[in-house]
Amino acid sequence: MSTLEILQFPDPGLRHRARPVVELDTAALRGQAQDMLETMYSASGIGLAAIQVGIDKRLIVMDISEDRGNPVVLVNPELLVRKGRRSMTEGCLSVPDYTDTVERADRIRYRALKLDGSPVEEWCDGLLATCIQHEIDHLDGRLFIDRLSLLKSRRVRKKLEKAHRSGVPQPLPAGVQSAVL
Ligand code: GNR
Ligand code: NI
């Protein structure tokens, strides 16, 4: 197992659509999922998309439990239905030192595969629904700051680009966590 480097905005590697996983139930895929979980836990995140660690696959890991003992791995996740709207404070391990309120669907039905290739399809809501939508966005090259108002999104992108150029330190994962809890 090893922790992986998390790409930071404005890395262009965060801006493409990740490719579907075609080979399930392989040692390689399990190994990548394990490394992603280790990376997510060590950064105190509640989710991580493969694209954030430079892996071009539609693969996400999550753990929204309080004791950090409930790892979830989803392969090729898809939103099937969105219901209602809800605003939540979000942060992102790829967006240093910034949190903001994002409006998303409140309740979703999603479909995905488990590591062994077996299908999952279910409704969820609350933090899990927010997290799945945030991670699927990553797989489509989208970040939560793209979902702010146009004016705000532009202002935030400029500010973060400037901070990036001047070599400001990496995100404090605890900041992201406090946005969650
Ligand atoms: O750790 C994270 N917290 C979080 C809080 C609110 C909404 C979404 C998230 S996901 C984020 C980890 C991350 O960047 N996943 O891509
Ligand atoms: Ni993120």
% of the chain exceeding 90 in pLDDT = 91
CB 12 within 8 A of CB 139: no
Give the angle 144-115-22 at the CA atoms, nearest 5°.
80
Per-residue pLDDT band for 178 (boundaries 50, 70, 90) equals: very low
pLDDT for res 167? 85
For the residues 26-33, what does the mean pLDDT come to? 98
104 CB less than 6 Å from ligand 1? no
Q: Read off the pLDDT of each residue in 30-39 and give the average, rounded to a whole number.
A: 98
Ligand 1 in contact with 92 (CB < 6 A)? Answer: yes
| Chain position carrying tokens 């040692």 | 27
Going by the DSSP 8-state scheme, the letter that residue 27 receives in this structure is: H
Token couple for 78 = 């898809």
144 — phi, psi (to 5°)? -65, -30
Question: Which atom of ligand 1 approaches the CA of 49 most closely?
Answer: 16
> Is 135 annotated in the active site?
yes
The gap between the terminal CA atoms of the chain, to the nearest Å, is 28
Choose one of 37, 89, 90, 99 to mutate for the ligand 1 pocket test, by most ligand atoms within 8 angstroms of C-beta. Answer: 90
- Nearest ligand by distance to the CA of 36: 1
Give kind and range of the element (H or E) at residue 150. helix 150-165
% of residues, the chain, pLDDT over 70: 92
131 lines ligand 1 (CB under 6 A): yes
Please report the pLDDT score of residue 1 as a whole number. Answer: 83
Taking the centre of ligand 2 as the mean of its atom positions, its distance from the CA of residue 136, in whole angstroms, is: 9
Rounded Cα gap, residues 139 and 172, in angstroms: 23
Task: Give φ, ψ of 143 to 5 degrees.
Answer: -115, 160
Q: What number of residues does the chain have?
A: 181
Tell me: the pLDDT tens digits for 9-23?
A: 999 999 999 999 999
For residue 177, pLDDT beyond 60: no
135 Cα–ligand 2 center, Å: 6
| The pLDDT of residue 170 | 55
Confidence of residue 42 (pLDDT cuts 50, 70, 90): very high
pLDDT digits (tens, 9 = 90+) for 94-143: 998 999 999 999 999 999 999 999 999 999 999 999 999 999 999 999 99
CA pair distance 57, 78, nearest whole angstrom: 13
Residue 160: both structure tokens together: 């973060």
The whole-number pLDDT of residue 169 equals 61
Q: 């406090």: which residue's tokens?
A: 178
Decide: residue 9, CB within 10 A, 0-12 exposed, 13-18 middle, 19+ buried: buried
Helix (H) or strand (E) holding 42: helix 27-42
Q: Average pLDDT for residues 27-55, to the nearest whole number?
A: 98
pLDDT at 80: 98
Domains and CATH numbers, the chain: 12-147 (3.90.45.10)
pLDDT digits (tens, 9 = 90+) for 141-165: 999 999 999 999 999 999 999 999 9
Atom of ligand 1 nearest to the CA of 44: 1
Q: Is the peptide bond before 10 cis (omega within 30 degrees of 0)?
A: yes
Question: What is the pLDDT at residue 173?
Answer: 43
